[in-house]
Amino acid sequence: MLSSIYTTLRDRGAAALIRAICNQTMAGIQSKLLRRRFMEKNIHNYRMLIDLEDRGISRSLLLFGTREVDHKILLEQIAKSGMTVFDIGANIGYYALMELGLIGPNGRMLAIEPSPSNIALLHRNLALNNEGDRITVLEGAVSDKTGLESFHLSTHSNLGTFHADGSAAHMLSGEQITVHTYTVPELADEYGAPDLIRMDVEGHEVEVIAGMLDAIRAEQIRPTIIFETHLSRYSAEHNMTRVLEELFTCGYSVSRAASSWQEGTARVAERGYEGSAPISTDGVERVIFENIKNEDAIDFICRTGGLRTVVLAPVS
């Protein structure tokens, strides 16, 4: 407890600490006295129900009312009115609701999520904001092939994964479920070709991108892709380098990317890139860079680290 207070004070400041204590007190009243598991809260320009038993995204939103501001800024730069968006790993709707606001009344979204508890809360959050006509929710996951795969659940609702290794492995609950997997081209045939794909899939971005390469080469789809990197889950066998190299040969490049934290910012800046003003989020400072060279992008994503949220865009 004292360690958490010190860390919040050090990384976020006194005002954030006071807000977090007030929010935690309110959550305690809701949970302990009123016996409620879910609490309604303003998040940006929408409302969300958050799970008071979750140690992951719900806890961040409970305490601080936001998360991953760099990712939010990147979405605001690339999501346009009328787009069709695939939100892969939609979780409880934090980004889905944000994206629905950005793509406007003529936009359309397919939200895919494998965790049954997340799906249930996602539906409730969409209903809370009177969303439903513009979004289809699909229980399942996206991969490089259609079929059934074993999925590892986590004590943190946003850290479920197909890959039981890496830096977040200790947060897995030990429970596994079988989920149906789809490919992006298969979903595009049924729901329309996506203009934008957003995904945070805990290392499975390797398979998701691999599964759409043939369709991209054939120019059947050509979406902008925004994803979160997971360096600790890449390896010679689980090869993100190869996937990116193939995507780059299809005319894609890293148009924008946010650094992981201060050390990542320094690593990118050492290569001569100039970034945005620092963005304070999640207890660190991140910076957005533009037009990362292909060879540098592979280094920062797959070898040395340095980038957290990456936008892969087709070159005009």
CB 267 within 8 A of CB 306: yes
pLDDT of residue 32: 81
Q: What is the DSSP string of 35-69?
A: --SEEEEEETTEEEEEETT-SSHHHHHHHHS---H
pLDDT of residue 155: 86
Residue 274 to residue 270: CA distance in whole angstroms: 9
pLDDT of residue 161: 87
pLDDT of residue 9: 67
CB 235 within 8 A of CB 124: no
What radius of gyration, in Å, describes the C-alpha atoms of the chain?
19
Residue 232 to residue 40: CA distance in whole angstroms: 34
Q: Going residue by residue through the chain (316 aa), what tens digit of pLDDT does each one get?
A: 546 776 776 777 787 778 878 878 887 888 888 888 999 999 999 999 999 999 889 999 999 999 999 999 999 999 999 999 999 999 999 999 999 999 999 999 999 999 999 999 999 999 999 998 999 999 999 999 999 999 999 888 787 888 877 777 887 888 899 999 999 999 999 999 999 999 999 999 999 999 999 999 999 999 999 999 999 999 999 999 999 999 999 999 999 999 999 999 999 999 999 999 999 999 999 999 999 999 999 999 999 999 999 999 999 7
Task: Tell me where in the chain the CATH 3.40.50.150 domain(s) lie.
Answer: 69-314
Residue 249 to residue 240: CA distance in whole angstroms: 14
Residue 308 to residue 94: CA distance in whole angstroms: 18
- Could you tell me the sign of the dihedral formed by the alpha carbons of 88, 288, 243, 301, in that order? negative
The model's pTM is 0.93
Topology, domain 69-314? Rossmann fold (3.40.50)
Strands 196-199 and 224-228: parallel
Residue 224 to residue 87: CA distance in whole angstroms: 12
